[in-house]
Structure 1
Amino acid sequence: MSESSNRPPLSLSPGQWSFTRWSTIGQLEALKVHHPLFKAVICLQGAHLTQFTPQDEKGWLWLSNAARFESERAIRGGIPVCWPWFGDPKRNAPEVRKRILSDKAHGFARTALWKLEDVRENAHEVEISLSLDATEDFSDQWSGHAIALITFNFSVRGCQIALTTTNLSPDPLAFSQALHSYFPTSDITRTRILGLGNSDYIDTLDHWQYRNQEGAVYFDGETDRIYESGEPLTIVTPGGSRRLRTVGSDSTVVWNPGAEKAARLSDFPNLAWKNMLCVETANAGGDYRVLSEGQSHTLGVLIGRM
């Protein structure tokens, strides 16, 4: 998915970084990237990307103005990492569910402390990699044994994220996951998603019934759907368009809380639903993945211009 493989970045130690700096946001340790062509912020808790802003543009991600950067608390907005399960544990396939020992939604990765592996920089891009070793530290929540490696690649042309899971257990590992991407819009009622026409989807708000999408996806109140599609998508808002291209995904989650649910959500202003939407690159529903010992799977998305 790399857009600039002909310009390999340089691997540098912290003292040599040109554009990346350690920072503290609230209670959380973060990496702030101030490149001449773009800015980005990643919190080590959750390997959570909270900002990507190309030069002279508005931010490409939505972040709640009520978000709290606190230890063991999920951040509302940006791109949370849902891993090694997505959504309600009870709604996962039996193979995934049997390893989950918690009733919490979306797994433990989004509040876990990830380890910095590498920072690579050059005049055109910055690449940052973090890892999470899911072993005995999470044995009270999950019975798997795996390592997750996430790599962020930033350039003026877009933001690329790749989440690779490797099974370290001798037993097969079933898991679900998502890159829970929040996007901004000036008006949700004038926003649409192209590329999901004719796709089947699960409507979680209607007893998890299957439906078929006719044409573009529009928003009229609360929306929570798992589409059986990993095709390229276009998000069209009054302010412009974004293109999403994925790898390792045959499911896409589309979400907006609407007015009533927004009022019940934590760290979410009551009217914020009007100015955001989630389009999540996923392995969810029937698209969960199973790895044999030593096998890996990469879930990725490239968010770019049209």
Structure 2
Amino acid sequence: MSESSNRPPTSLSPGQWSFTRWNTIGQLEALEIHHPLFRAIIFLQGAHLAHFAPQDEADWLWLSNRARFEPGRAIRGGIPICWPWFGDPAKNPPEVRKRIRTDAAHGFARTALWKLEDVQESAHEVEISLSLDANEDFADTWNGHALALITFSFSVRGCQLALTTTNLDSSPLSFSQALHTYLPTTDITRTRVLGLGTSNYTDTLKDWAYCSQEGPVYFDGETDRIYESGEPVTIVTPSGSRKLTAVGSDSTVVWNPGPDKAAGLSDFPDTAWKNMLCVETANAAGDYRVLNEGQSHTLGVFIGRK
């Protein structure tokens, strides 16, 4: 890592910051937070949180050891922002799909360059906000005009992400989205997700069949499900547990590529599926959102201790 001399434009002066500094990681600009109580890394490309850990603890997020930090390339791990659509465009509701002009999955926000809006620091917390103006610059892939503002809040208790979408267009905006959280585990076969036991879900691996969950979610191979629930979930692994508490969400995606799909994924070791899972706070499938002109919606998640 080295200090950057080509920082994105901002009115904020780094001299005002005690714990936050610019760095270049690979080819990308990042904000590194070195607080006495915790550490975090946010890339401006994608407003991508790649690392968070309280002092003297292992990373609470999973990041591929093959992740590549290059312009226009999505980072494998951490928390990618899927926006203003989630997943395969063709699998989105018609109102969302009609605005999309590409076959690419998960929207353009995760590879777009976001603008730094604010840094607030205290003895106990650091809060960082970034924005993305989705205007005519994205007309090749999407028909709309919206502002995305994400605020990260870090403390010794955990980290919180709040993604607010405001429709700047004169016509109603339908969109789907997800905070695509990658979490570590020492053994996926001994990992379970609690809190979805009374939920229905769509199993994308079974021709989008509609199913009912009974008890905890376990992993015995590739898993890709959209649950109709925004209730808090707890991820239990052999080394501990984390609780994810969502706001503005009535859908939760649970994903693990399993051995076969992992072998074909970019920037992903063939055996890495054994040591990670994704539990995504979402507005997906039937939980897509519609905003009239000037209206806003906030999707958020707090990742904390159980």
Structure 2 residue 198 is the aligned partner of structure 1 residue 206: no
Helix, strand or coil for the counterpart of 2:205?
Answer: coil
Q: State the shift of 1:273 in Å.
A: 0.2
Aligned to 1:221: 221
Q: State the shift of 1:16 in Å.
A: 1.2
Determine the C-alpha separation between the residues in 1 that align with 2:70 and 2:145: 27
Aligned to 2:285: 285
Letter in 1 for 2:282: A
1:39-118 to 2 correspondences below 5 Å: 39-118=39-118
Letter in 2 for 1:179: L
Q: C-alpha deviations, 1:158-186, integer Å up to 9, x for none?
A: 00000000000110000000000000000
Q: CA RMSD in A?
A: 0.9
Determine the C-alpha separation between the residues in 1 that align with 2:285 and 2:13: 41
Q: State the shift of 1:13 in Å.
A: 3.4
Determine the C-alpha separation between the residues in 2 that align with 1:196 and 1:155: 27
Letter in 1 for 2:273: W
Determine the C-alpha separation between the residues in 1 that align with 2:144 and 2:31: 29
1:247-258 to 2 correspondences below 5 Å: 247-258=247-258
Determine the C-alpha separation between the residues in 2 that align with 1:267 and 1:142: 26
Q: C-alpha deviations, 1:18-70, integer Å up to 9, x for none?
A: 00000000010000000000000000000000000101111100000000000
Aligned to 1:145: 145
Query: Which contiguous aligned blocks of 4+ residues in structure 1 show a shift greater than 3 angstroms?
Result: none
Determine the C-alpha separation between the residues in 2 that align with 1:297 and 1:198: 26
Helix, strand or coil for the counterpart of 1:178?
Answer: strand
Letter in 2 for 1:216: P
Determine the C-alpha separation between the residues in 2 that align with 1:262 and 1:53: 26
Are the counterparts in 2 of residues 27 and 71 from structure 1 also a CA contact under 8 Å?
Answer: yes
Determine the C-alpha separation between the residues in 1 that align with 2:16 and 2:132: 25
Aligned to 1:135: 135
Determine the C-alpha separation between the residues in 1 that align with 2:114 and 2:136: 15
Letter in 1 for 2:46: G
Determine the C-alpha separation between the residues in 1 that align with 2:260 and 2:237: 23
Q: State the shift of 1:14 in Å.
A: 1.7
Determine the C-alpha separation between the residues in 2 that align with 1:46 and 1:22: 16
Structure 2 residue 268 is the aligned partner of structure 1 residue 261: no
Q: State the shift of 1:15 in Å.
A: 1.2
Counting matched residue pairs gives 296
Q: C-alpha deviations, 1:186-244, integer Å up to 9, x for none?
A: 00000000000020000000000000000000000000000000001100000101011
Determine the C-alpha separation between the residues in 2 that align with 1:180 and 1:42: 15
Determine the C-alpha separation between the residues in 2 that align with 1:28 and 1:275: 26
Determine the C-alpha separation between the residues in 2 that align with 1:16 and 1:56: 26
Aligned to 2:7: none
Structure 2 residue 241 is the aligned partner of structure 1 residue 241: yes
Determine the C-alpha separation between the residues in 1 that align with 2:156 and 2:199: 32
Are the counterparts in 2 of residues 32 and 42 from structure 1 also a CA contact under 8 Å?
Answer: yes
Aligned to 2:230: 230
Helix, strand or coil for the counterpart of 1:162?
Answer: strand
Determine the C-alpha separation between the residues in 1 that align with 2:57 and 2:69: 24
Letter in 1 for 2:151: T
Determine the C-alpha separation between the residues in 2 that align with 1:56 and 1:22: 22
Aligned to 1:166: 166
Helix, strand or coil for the counterpart of 1:265?
Answer: coil
Helix, strand or coil for the counterpart of 1:205?
Answer: helix
Aligned to 2:183: 183
Letter in 1 for 2:27: Q
Determine the C-alpha separation between the residues in 1 that align with 2:15 and 2:164: 28
